[in-house]
């Protein structure tokens, strides 16, 4: 994250920017531009719940492009995430691992080189 506040949410690479406001007479005054941060509730398919996070419109656009909150967070590197989002990523990973274990426990489902294969003859119709 580029600044401390961004560690508490998904900011999509946005950060505080600095510049000058120049008056009609040429006087320069230092000013800042802050990201448009909003509290939003996003649905996590893996956890099957709505999660409240602070986010920018840019991050929401990236989430839509990736196909949801879970895919967006899983695609991010751990060092790009703050503590809250890292914990959420860990929860999603563990939930997906549990779902995989449940699927593999069913008869007719095997792992073959990382790919799941389903034996159609053993699946109930």
Domain ranges of the chain: 4-104
* Mean per-residue pLDDT over the chain, rounded: 85
What sign for the dihedral angle of Cα 22, 24, 26, 27? negative
* pLDDT at residue 118 in the model: 47
Q: Which of these ranges, 80-84, 97-101, 102-106, 112-116, has the smallest mean pLDDT? A: 112-116
**Cα–Cα nearest to 47, from 78, 101, 91, 82:** 91
Q: What is the CA radius of gyration of the chain?
A: 22
Within 10 angstroms of residue 50's Cβ, the number of other Cβ atoms is 11
Integer Cα distance of 83 and 52 in angstroms: 15
Tell me the CATH architecture of domain 4-104: Roll (2.30)
| Half-sphere exposure (Cβ direction) of 20: Cα atoms closer than 13 Å | 7
**Cα–Cα nearest to 47, from 29, 27, 73, 13:** 73
Q: Is the entire prediction scored with pTM above 0.85?
A: no
């Amino acid at each position: 994250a580029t600044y401390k506040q961004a560690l508490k949410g998904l900011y999509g690479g946005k950060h505080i920017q600095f510049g000058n406001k120049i008056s009609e007479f040429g006087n320069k005054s230092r000013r800042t531009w802050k990201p448009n941060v909003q509290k939003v509730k996003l649905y996590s398919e893996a956890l099957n719940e709505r999660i409240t996070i602070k986010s920018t419109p840019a991050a929401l656009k990236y989430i839509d492009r990736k196909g949801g909150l879970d895919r967006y967070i899983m695609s991010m590197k751990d060092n790009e995430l703050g503590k809250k989002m890292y914990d959420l990523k860990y929860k999603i990973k563990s939930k997906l691992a549990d779902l995989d274990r449940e699927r593999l426990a069913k008869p007719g489902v095997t792992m073959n080189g990382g790919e799941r294969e389903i034996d159609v003859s053993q699946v109930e119709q």
